[in-house]
Structures are given as C-alpha cells and as structure tokens.
Amino acid sequence: MSKRQLAMVMDLNKCIGCQTCTVACKTQWTNRNGREYMYWNNVETYPGTGYPKNWMELGGGFDAAGDLQPGVIPNLEADYGVPWDYNYESLTTQGLLDNTGAAGFHPHVSPTWGPNWDEDEGAGVFPQDNYFFYLPRICNHCTNPGCLSACPRDAIFKREEDGVVLVDLDRCQGYRYCIAGCPYKKIYFNPKISKSEKCILCFPRVEQGLPPACAQQCVGRIRFVGFLDDEESQVHKLVHKYKVALGLRSDYGTQPNVYYIPPTESPAKFDAEGKIIEGSTRLPIEELEKLFGPAVHDAIKTLKAEMQKRKETGASELMDLLIAYQHSDMFRLDNNYYQQVAREKKRNPLAPVDTRYIAGKFTTKGHGQVLFSGHTTGGHH
Amino acid sequence: MKKLLTTILSLGVAASAALAADLSLTATKVSDQLDAINPDSAVWSKAKFATVVLYPQTAIEFNDKEANEANKDPKGKKAQVAAVHNGKEIALLVKWADGTKNVQGIKCTDTYSDGFAIQFAGTTKKSQPLPYVGMGSVGRPVVVHLQKATDKVYEPNGNKDVSTQINRQQTGFFGKELAEYDAKVASLANTDFERVFVGEGFRSLTEIKDKSVKSNAAMKYDNKGWIGTLARPLKDDYMNGAGTVAATIAVWDGAKHGRNGLKLLSSWIAINLEGQKANAAVVAEATEAPKGDAAKGKAAVEANGCAGCHQIDKSMPAGYMAPSLVNVGGYSTAAYLRESLIKPSAVVVPGFNRNAHSNTPWYNLEKGKRVSTMTDYSFLDKATIEDIVAYLKTLKAEVE
C-alpha cells in the first residue's frame, strides 16, 4: 500500500460517450510504436461486450480468500480488434476504385472486430425498454493490483508517493501474466517491444500539477482528480464524505481507485401503445449492483435526496460539486507535494523506474537509467 | 609429470561421474576462437556429446489459464549437449526436439517463442553449495544467458528515437520517402533476442545491459528440432570458470505458451574443462545419487505431513503455500533437497509476489531476510533425511 493515493471520480450521469478522453489519451500515449491497438482510456457502451471483448469474463483479480485468480490473455484480432490502416498511398496513383472497378482504397485487413463494435446497442427492445449508458475506463491504479501480484519479475510497482501503478520496462520481460491477472484487462502487451504497457495516470502531467489528459479534455467535465486523503479534494468528498462514488467491480478484490457516480436518471419504459409507464425506469438496478456493488442503493438514495434538497432549498454541496464549476476545484494536484518528495528522496521526480533496482541491485556496474530529462542516474561504481 | 597427473585425476573424476548418467561432461579443449560460434561451426565435430534430461519446471503454477491447460501433463525431454573450451572461452551446444517452430509475432498479443537458456553458477567465495537451480538464491548468484527465437524487437532504447516511433501512416511520407522511413525503423530494431541476466532467485533477475558480459548465442531450427549454441568467457565480472564449470540448461516451447517458469530444466551439470584439474566436489554434488531408501522416505514424507503444504503427486491440488514437488527430483540435486529439509530458509523459492496469495505466506521478512514458513526438519535423524532425499529424487515426470 502506498502512503498516499491519487484517485479519479467519473460521473456517469454526465458522460455522453464522445470519446474525447479516448482521443486525448491516444494522441498523447498510444498512437505509435506497438501501442496502436491499445486504449489506455476507452469508453464502452454498457451493457455491451466492452473492450477487450467480454473483459469481465476473462479472469484475474482475487477471490474471497485473497488468492489471485487465473486469467486469459486476449487475442489481438478477436478480442481487441486489429487497428486497421488504409492504403493512402494508392490514392496518388489511382482513385477510390482500381482499374478493375474494385475498391482500390481499402483497409489493410478486413476488420472483424474492434473497440466499440457494439457502440450504442445496449440492451432491451426498442422503443419500449431499450437502454444503455457509457462506461469510461482507465487503469484503476488499484491498492491491491492484480497485475503487480501476477508479475514474477518484480517489474510492476506502485509508487509510494501517489499510488500510481507503473511498469518498469527495464525489468519487464513480456511474460504477460499481468494481463491474465488484471480483472479489468487494463494492462496491455506491446508486441513490438515485447513488454507490457498501461495507463500511467499521466504522471508526468500530474507531477507538474496538471490532471491526466483524459480528465483535462473531458467536455462533460465528468472527471475529478485528487488525493483521497486530502479532505479538501472533491474526490475525497465524493468517495468518503457523501459515499456516492463507487469502485467498479470491487468484487474482484483489487481495491480500484477509480470511482464512479452511478447513473441515477433513466427514462421511463413505454407500453405496447407507446405510452409512458409511469414510475418505471429503464435502467435495471441489478445491472448497477453488478458493477458497483450493494452500496449503489445508498449512493443513488443520497444523490436523489440531494437533488431534491437542491430543488427545495437551492443549496446542496454535493450538487455543486457535481456541476463541476471550476477545473481548479475538480483537480487538486499540489505541485509542491511532488517537488517535496523529490527533494526528500533526492531524485528526479520524473523517474519512471522502480527505484528498488535503480542502483543495479544485482549487476556489478549497475545500469544507469536514462530519464526523460536525458541525464543518467543510478548505478553503484 | 604434474600435468600428466592432473589429467589422470580429471579423467578419473569424469569416468566415475559417467556412471551417474550424464550430469557431468567434458568440454573438449580446442584451439579455435569461440566468440563467433554457431550451430554450424566445424568445431562441434571435435566435441563429445552427452545426453541431459530436461524436466518440466512445475514448482509454481502461474495464473495463465490457457498456458496451464496446455501444460497439464508435461513430459521431460532428452537434450544432446556438447561443450568445448579454449582456455579463455567456453562454448556449449544444446540440441533438442521440438515439433513446431514458434516465433513470437510482432503483431500478436498471445504468441510465444521457442528458446533456450544456459545458466552458470556465479562467482562466490565458496563454489558450493551450488545455487538454487531456479535462477539462483540469495548469496549464490547465477548468470543466465537467454536466446529466444523472435522476430524483430524494438526495445525502448532511451536514445530519444521518438521520430521513428510514429506510425508510418502518420509520417506524412509517401512512396520513396515512406520506404526510407520504414528502412530506418527496421534498422533500429533488434533482431537477435539474446539477453544476459544476473540473479539471486528468479524474481531478482536483472538484465546486464552495461556490456560487462561478452557472449554470443545463436539458435537454428532444423529437422524438427532446435540447435542452440552459446559462447562466453570462462572468467568475467560474474563468473570464474576453472576446472569444473557448473551449468544448467532450460528450453522453452512457444507452442505450449512457454516463457519464464513454463519451461523444461536440467539439474546442475558439471562440465570439466579438458586439460584442467576438475573440481571433484562440484562434480560429486552434481552427480550425487541418493543412498537412502526411497520407500522409507515416502513413508517419512507422509508421516511428517509434507503434503500439508506441498503438492507431492498430481492427484493433489497444487496449493499456494509451498512449491510443488511433483518434478522436484528431475531438476534438483540431492544436496539441495537435503539442505531444504534441514535449513528451509537457505533457499526460499520465490514465486508470485507474496500478495498474490496473501493468506498463505511461504516466508516472512525478518530483518530484510526471507525466512521460510516451512518447518525445520533438522530434528530428524540423518538416515531419515537421506531416505526422504532418495524419495524426492524419484519425483519426476516421464521423459519423452
């Protein structure tokens, strides 16, 4: 367990599935070098197959006894979907059709599956009782990470200062047990470099006082970021004070640190004549209970009560929080905290490596780590 | 005269060792340079081949469902092993059968490579006891040379080659320029997946990237099998090979999702350097045949409740508390088994992170040292210990 824990809260009532977060993450981290197929941040339609396909059925996580459960490593084509490319080059010598009249401009593979293949399908019968909502997902930076527990190489570590879970690419040998061990399938195998990679909670941004790119770019302003132990932070208030933000599939036993405000509002069902069935709601509470556990009932009750209170009295701290007026309130990332840690530990705060091995624990010379800033540290001589 | 005597002595050791199967072999002295050696090198015609049995490493079950399914009933394999040396370098050749050639794809997430590794006992003040066969143990380091059959691997090289990490479609290049870009990217890839590690137990394994080890490994698929070769100096920062070099061999089968612990592994092999005085004690440790009574040992194992934590045969569940002993006789020396009984904390077989099974910790940390939760059986009389060792040595998989 880390000394402090960064957390994110996502308000599902406000997610419109625009994928701006997905794109912010992709352009920042995963559009190159073997990461093309990865979505460190994705937004999937729930109910749906999700990304990768049926991730909730692929194992990993812990059972009630605390034992890591075996899991499956998804297949690129069948489960993630091959990120297809087009032969743009062909357009310099031909039109959209080739000489024979067939498609000259085409994807390099015939796609059979991809992320959001089933976007907006949801469940139920249109128009009577169909429903869905969007579920944005990033790495949960768990307190008890399944990926970390599965790694036989000590290549995954949880940072003391903020609980961010990272892969030390120097130690990773591409065994992929982490992928089987993560119940959220939020750690990915980069086949080009033969190592595992994952969401880093944009730690280089966070250390400079900026929120992760997905949170910063969110047009619905659904994401709150801060330290859980910081009582002034909105994440603390949503998770601990009002208890309206809940972990996703906490039953996997990894103690996730991304929390969700469950969707409370859904339209009423229609009867056979297309008339509103008064008092009905399309979103079955069982589905929410499956995702967020039994605490979802109380969370929804609190949310509704506060909504009512706001209507009646005009005042509700919780509603004010969820309106998300100011980025400066939504994101509480004290820049000085990281500078202080760096000074105390006498190291570069940007070091994306596991400091336990930085001194070359088992090598005679040690292998210095090349850091972002370009200088080398570590190695005992 | 002295030289002649040494030769006679070393021959004597080798001859006695030959009786205990091929856990001892002789590295033929040659005058050739060995640093560029490969499976086709002519020098191998001068070498003597020995048969080494590789057993499935099943101490720990990993959390990959499909891999576990593929390795449900693992069998041992016979490998042909030869060694040569020129006084400065040692070279080994390993030949093993593998019906399919598996090369991990660079556009797949769930394929694995065939490969092999040779592990040498690292430099320590005393050459014995030998390190734990599973990649060493605290205070008894090993050097591991790994070669995998891979396609191109693009290591994050730390050289700020950011411009070449861009997807080719995003470069804005077409035609000739794009071809040049592709060629540049390809030139930065590492096509030879050869790695050297130093470790004191397999979680501690650390890649040696500072070029302080000069080695050359190669592998070739031919006639439904692989031939792997490795050359390295007899002496460097990590190893001090003289007289007798202790080594183990591991092979991986990509078709069975082999990687890391999912491999076939030999016990320690004593390689006597022709022309040098053999280290009789190391040869004896590698080749020791247990003298106890295995039947009595089996009874003692039952009486002492070993099965409470260890999986002893396949009919029992594997459990998390202690390493499975189902194949322990195949890849362990008698000395290691004996030591584990009377000094359980001498080698704490590392496995998953301990929090993978937090309710069944197999060691506790005391003053930074891993203290095994296993009972110390040094209270048993010597004969019983020997009987148990003899029984444990019989626990091994069938050999193909």
The ipTM (two decimal places) reads 0.90
| B359 vs A contacts (CB less than 8 Å) | 65-67
The reply to whether residue B206 touches residue A73, judged by beta carbons under 8 angstroms, is no
The reply to whether residue B65 touches residue A361, judged by beta carbons under 8 angstroms, is no
Higher pLDDT, A348 or A64: A64
Query: pLDDT tier at B359 (50, 70, 90 boundaries)?
Result: confident
The reply to whether residue B238 touches residue A189, judged by beta carbons under 8 angstroms, is no
The reply to whether residue A32 touches residue B63, judged by beta carbons under 8 angstroms, is no
Query: pLDDT tier at A334 (50, 70, 90 boundaries)?
Result: confident
* Residue B398 belongs to a domain: no
B166 and B133, same domain (yes or no): no
Quick one: average pLDDT of A234-261?
A: 98
Residue among A37, A173, A362 minimizing CB distance to B200: A362
Whole-number Å distance between alpha carbons of B384 and B389: 9
Q: Are the beta carbons of A214 and A25 closer than 8 angstroms?
A: yes
Residue A326 C-alpha, separation from nearest chain B C-alpha, in angstroms: 35
Query: pLDDT tier at B1 (50, 70, 90 boundaries)?
Result: very low
Which of B287, B308, B334 delimits the end of a domain?
B287
A93 and A182, same domain (yes or no): no
Q: Are the beta carbons of B52 and B63 closer than 8 angstroms?
A: no
Query: pLDDT tier at B149 (50, 70, 90 boundaries)?
Result: very high
Task: Please classify residue B56 by burial: count the beta carbons closer than 10 Å to its beta carbon, then call 0-12 exposed, 13-18 middle and 19+ buried.
Answer: buried
B165 and B179, same domain (yes or no): yes
Q: Are the beta carbons of B219 and B147 closer than 8 angstroms?
A: yes
Task: Please classify residue B40 by burial: count the beta carbons closer than 10 Å to its beta carbon, then call 0-12 exposed, 13-18 middle and 19+ buried.
Answer: exposed
- Count: domains in chain A: 3
Average pLDDT, chain A: 89
Q: CA angle, corner A63, sides to B56 and A240, nearest 5?
A: 140
Q: Looking at the complex, does the CB of residue B173 fall below 8 Å from at least one CB of chain A? A: no
The yes-or-no verdict on residue A372 having pLDDT over 80 is: no
Which of B267, B287, B307 delimits the end of a domain?
B287
The pLDDT, as a whole number, for residue B21 is 52
The pLDDT, as a whole number, for residue A348 is 65
A166 and A183, same domain (yes or no): yes
Pairing of strands A369-370, A331-332: unpaired
B278 and B316, same domain (yes or no): no
A69 and A207, same domain (yes or no): yes
The angle, 0 to 180 degrees and rounded to 10, between the axes of the packed helices B280-287 and B2-19 is: 10
The pLDDT, as a whole number, for residue B203 is 78
| Alpha-helical regions (H) of A6-70 | 20-25
Whole-number Å distance between alpha carbons of A207 and A202: 9
The reply to whether residue B261 touches residue A32, judged by beta carbons under 8 angstroms, is no
**From the DSSP assignment, how many helices (H) and strands (E) are in chain B?**
8, 15
The yes-or-no verdict on residue B20 having pLDDT over 60 is: no
B231 and B95, same domain (yes or no): yes
The yes-or-no verdict on residue B319 having pLDDT over 60 is: yes
The pLDDT, as a whole number, for residue B316 is 87
* Residue A340 belongs to a domain: no
The yes-or-no verdict on residue B206 having pLDDT over 90 is: no
Q: Name the percent of chain B lying above pLDDT 90.
A: 66
φ, ψ of residue B83 to 5 degrees: the values are -140, 145
Whole-number Å distance between alpha carbons of B98 and B116: 12
CATH number of the structural domain spanning residue B142: 2.60.40.1190
A87 and A191, same domain (yes or no): no
Quick one: average pLDDT of B30-35?
A: 95
pLDDT digit string (tens) for B173-196? Answer: 888 998 999 898 888 888 889 999
* Residue B103 belongs to a domain: yes
B104 and B216, same domain (yes or no): yes
The yes-or-no verdict on residue A377 having pLDDT over 90 is: no
Taking phi over 0 as left and psi of -120 to 50 as alpha, with beta for the rest, A148 belongs to: alpha
The yes-or-no verdict on residue A98 having pLDDT over 90 is: no
Q: How far is CA B355 from CA A207, A248, B324, in A?
A: 28, 21, 19
Residue B163 C-alpha, separation from nearest chain A C-alpha, in angstroms: 10
The yes-or-no verdict on residue A290 having pLDDT over 90 is: yes
Q: Whose CA is closest to A333, among A138, A241, A201?
A: A201
B204 and B265, same domain (yes or no): yes
A271 and A317, same domain (yes or no): yes
B260 and B137, same domain (yes or no): yes
B176 and B46, same domain (yes or no): no
Residue of chain A whose alpha carbon sits nearest to that of B197? A363
Range picked from A144-153, B17-26, B152-161, B317-326 for highest mean pLDDT: A144-153
Q: Looking at the complex, does the CB of residue B161 fall below 8 Å from at least one CB of chain A? A: no
* Residue B65 belongs to a domain: yes
Q: Looking at the complex, does the CB of residue B353 fall below 8 Å from at least one CB of chain A? A: yes
The pLDDT, as a whole number, for residue B159 is 65
The DSSP 8-state label assigned to residue B45 in this structure reads G
**Domain of residue B170, residue span:** 161-189
B215 and B309, same domain (yes or no): no
* Residue A1 belongs to a domain: no
The pLDDT, as a whole number, for residue B141 is 92
Quick one: average pLDDT of B201-205?
A: 81
**Domain of residue A307, residue span:** 6-81+116-332
Query: pLDDT tier at B74 (50, 70, 90 boundaries)?
Result: very high
Query: pLDDT tier at B367 (50, 70, 90 boundaries)?
Result: confident
Q: Looking at the complex, does the CB of residue B75 fall below 8 Å from at least one CB of chain A? A: no
Q: Which of A359-373, B45-59, B269-283 has the lowest mean pLDDT?
A: A359-373
* Residue A342 belongs to a domain: no
Neighbour-count burial for B160-173, b at 16+ CB within 10 Å, e otherwise = eeeebbbeebeeeb
The yes-or-no verdict on residue A369 having pLDDT over 60 is: no
- In chain B the first and final C-alpha atoms are separated, in Å, by 46
Q: How far is CA B40 from CA B43, B87, B343, in A?
A: 9, 22, 45
The pLDDT, as a whole number, for residue B259 is 94
Whole-number Å distance between alpha carbons of B94 and B117: 10
Q: Whose CA is closest to B48, among B17, B6, B8?
A: B17
The reply to whether residue A153 touches residue B260, judged by beta carbons under 8 angstroms, is yes
pLDDT digit string (tens) for B209-225? Answer: 888 899 999 999 999 99
The pLDDT, as a whole number, for residue B11 is 43
Q: Are the beta carbons of B57 and B134 closer than 8 angstroms?
A: yes
Q: Looking at the complex, does the CB of residue B293 fall below 8 Å from at least one CB of chain A? A: no
CATH number of the structural domain spanning residue B328: 2.60.40.420
- Count: domains in chain B: 3
The pLDDT, as a whole number, for residue B297 is 97
B175 and B281, same domain (yes or no): no
Residue of chain A whose alpha carbon sits nearest to that of B238? A364
Please count the residues of chain B.
400
Whole-number Å distance between alpha carbons of A352 and B156: 13
| A70 vs B contacts (CB less than 8 Å) | 62-65, 68
Question: pTM (2 decimals)?
Answer: 0.91
Residue of chain B whose alpha carbon sits nearest to that of A77? B108
The yes-or-no verdict on residue B250 having pLDDT over 50 is: yes
* Residue B198 belongs to a domain: yes
pLDDT digit string (tens) for A101-113? Answer: 888 899 988 899 9
Quick one: average pLDDT of B299-328?
A: 91
Whole-number Å distance between alpha carbons of A282 and A129: 6
The pLDDT, as a whole number, for residue B19 is 38
Count of A-B CB contacts under 8 Å? 171
B87 and B218, same domain (yes or no): yes
Residue among A150, A169, A357 minimizing CB distance to B206: A357
Please spell the DSSP secondary structure of A110-176, one letter per residue: -----TTTTTTT-BS-TTTT-B-EEEEE-----SS-HHHHH-TTS-EEE-TTT--EEE-TTT-----
Quick one: average pLDDT of B83-88?
A: 97
The helix/strand/coil state of A303 is helix
The pLDDT, as a whole number, for residue B279 is 95
Residue of chain A whose alpha carbon sits nearest to that of B212? A365
Q: Name the percent of chain A lying above pLDDT 70.
A: 90
The reply to whether residue B174 touches residue A192, judged by beta carbons under 8 angstroms, is no
* Residue B169 belongs to a domain: yes
The yes-or-no verdict on residue B157 having pLDDT over 50 is: yes
Quick one: average pLDDT of A265-270?
A: 92
The pLDDT, as a whole number, for residue A144 is 95
| B123 vs A contacts (CB less than 8 Å) | none
Q: DSSP strand E in B156-259: where?
A: 193-199, 206-207, 216-221, 225-233, 244-252
Average pLDDT, chain B: 89
CATH number of the structural domain spanning residue A253: 3.30.70.20
* Residue B202 belongs to a domain: yes
The pLDDT, as a whole number, for residue A253 is 96
Q: Which of residues 305-324 of B touch A (CB under 8 A)?
A: 320
Whole-number Å distance between alpha carbons of A53 and A44: 10
* Residue B399 belongs to a domain: no
A38 and A54, same domain (yes or no): yes
